[in-house]
Structure 1
Amino acid sequence: MTTDTPPLRVLQLAARYLPDLGGIETHVHEVARRLAARPGVDVTVAASDRTGTRPGSERVEGFDVLRRRAWPRERDYYVAPGLARVVRDGRWDVVHVQGVHTAVPPLGMLAALSARVPFVVTFHTGGNSSAARNAARSAQWRAIAPLLRRADRLIAVSRFERRLFAGATGLDESEILVVRNGGALPEVPAGVRPVPGRVVSSGRLERYKGHHRVIEALPALRLLVPEAHVHVLGAGPYEHELRTLARQLGVGDAVEIRSVPPGDRAGMARSLAEASVFATFSDYEAHPVAVMEALTLGVPVVGTDVAGVADLVEDGLVSGVGVGAPAEQAARLLAEAMTGPRSRRQVDLPTWDSAADSLEAVYRDVVASRARLGSPKRSTAKKASLKSLGRDARREEAA
């Protein structure tokens, strides 16, 4: 690339970004900082802010982060009209819509269509503790299918998710690319070793995440491995129920629940490295980042054989537990995993670097395809654009 060639201007649009914690937030951060380190890519992340307390514009690890107010504050609808202006007025070469759950993705897709900006969508589907919300998912996917079909590229994070959205959109599976999450963590200090009997379950404290199933398996597991104990890493509204369940089962002293701050990647690496086994008993995961992090460290994983975890079971990376399996069966698999050989299998796993490579290739292919068809002019006036967007944020906050 010659020095006078302007960089590719990419907007990554998500409902939430750090310090909010979750799989999409981690994915966006990890790929954005890797792309931003490349001389030919200029990345900006745009996300909503329900708190009204976060900066409207800041610089993070080589890329800009723009936040716009979202309402209502106590719900997860994420209606953030200011993000549409970011999409329309930023003069981006490509917009990458990350996730499809909230009101942000259709708003972003409509704004991109209005501005005639090419856009890419990664689904990043997830579960929910509300039965009604889960039942409405298929209708939701059908509702946004016309917008998805107009995307320049569609990306799934697992084979399962590709099959799901091929059915929802009517597109052939071959038209949906799979780019899996990575699992990079800081190097673990040499003295850190697996703690005998420790089971780690990580993720937001919601019922659908399945932490309660790990606790339910603990009494049977302690019959097989007397020193067995559970560390639940996360925060959320289901904490009281989990603590109550542990007391009722008589294992309250063998269950620890704590959160690891979003920015403490070294702390998360240490916590996972101390696990004898990692458990993921969630009702639904498209392609769980926490599982990839555990596998990268060589921690054996036992998980419910469903959704995206089923792909990892099929690949031989995770020991699968059938949906609705009794606690005794889960306990047996956990015991087998924690007493078996421990190996590091990074060579078999996707990385955040490989994810960034794939995404950059997608962006360049999309822009090249649009150029052949006659696309809007590229702009190199990034500073002026961001300054304008910053004024929009201040006006919105003042209102």
Structure 2
Amino acid sequence: MADLLRLLLRVAEKAANVARVCRQEAPLFQLLVQEKTGDDKNKKFVQDFKTLADVVIQEMIQHDVGAQFPEMCGFIHGEESNKFENGLGESVIVTVCSTEEETAKLLASVLDDNHTAASLLAQAIHQDPATIDAHMDDVAVPLSPSELGIWIDPIDATSQYIEGREEVLEEGHLFPSGLHCALVLIGVYLLKTGEPVMGVINQPFNYKDPAGGGWRGKHFWGVSCGGVNVCSETCPKEGPGAGLSVVLSSSEKQVVKEALTALCGPGKLMYASGAGFKILCVIQGLADVYVVSEGSTFKWDSCAPHALLRALGGGVVDLANCLQSSSAVQDNQAELTYHQPRPESKRADCWANYGGLVAYRDPSQLRRVVGTLKGKV
């Protein structure tokens, strides 16, 4: 497990490099954006986009993990298809080749023969980043890679990534939108039970280097399996008289907003972009709870941060199950799992978190939120 975690931290940083390279030139970036249609489209959005960065990152992670752990091939899944259409209307299947030169040649066919851009991307894909020190001495879990599956969200909050608004983050403050909401998410789960056991989150646009002006990232990770609970983050200490704070999507149902406003009080109901980023806000203690009442999030959004929350004593539960049965909350029966598709649903929809979800650090706060929403949703 420690070897797998080291690998995932490394490939997540490579993914962050790809995301940064793809944003460096605005004219180039416009070539890389494609609208999703049909069953691939998230019904929550009028327009739903993927970028070449999404596709390349997902393929790169699948390639690198499969190379080191071949027994996991076939169980590494993600949000995006690897088909991309170039400016000439030609569909190109994007893959990571065995050499940088071969990858650059393939990418050039997507980028309308822009060989400079293709070479930059290929270099980021094939270049190993510096070793990431994650202090993994306590990660001793008796699991084989053959028991595990992986969910990848190559760039969560793609709309924020495309828009590219830059914000200067302040310690301890939640900023609702901007490039920092775009995250690379890699979650590991047990094939047999669907239980999330490891998560890696990379935030490619965390801050700008004062010296060079380029973007620098930040990574987060956690392992929760059996008696082992280890996380790069720590549970924040509550201040005296601190009230419950909840983060939502701005498109959340009005009845949910009103109920939670009454529970939290003024200034404690916040809004942010990206499902992964909102769960990261809970992990970091910028919010106590994240609530979404509809099935607009997916397994690749929640798997990685779910593992971190479990390591911190929290979790991510199916909201509909909790509202139907109080015992589901008490007995942890409502925790999301990641191994079984929803029957009779098509393509992306079969992996939606259909009952909505609540992400939390403290079980007592989960109970307060569920009690407030009961009978209203």
TM-score (norm 1): 0.32
Pick the structure with greater CA Rg.
1
- Relative to its length, the structure with more helix (as a share) is 1
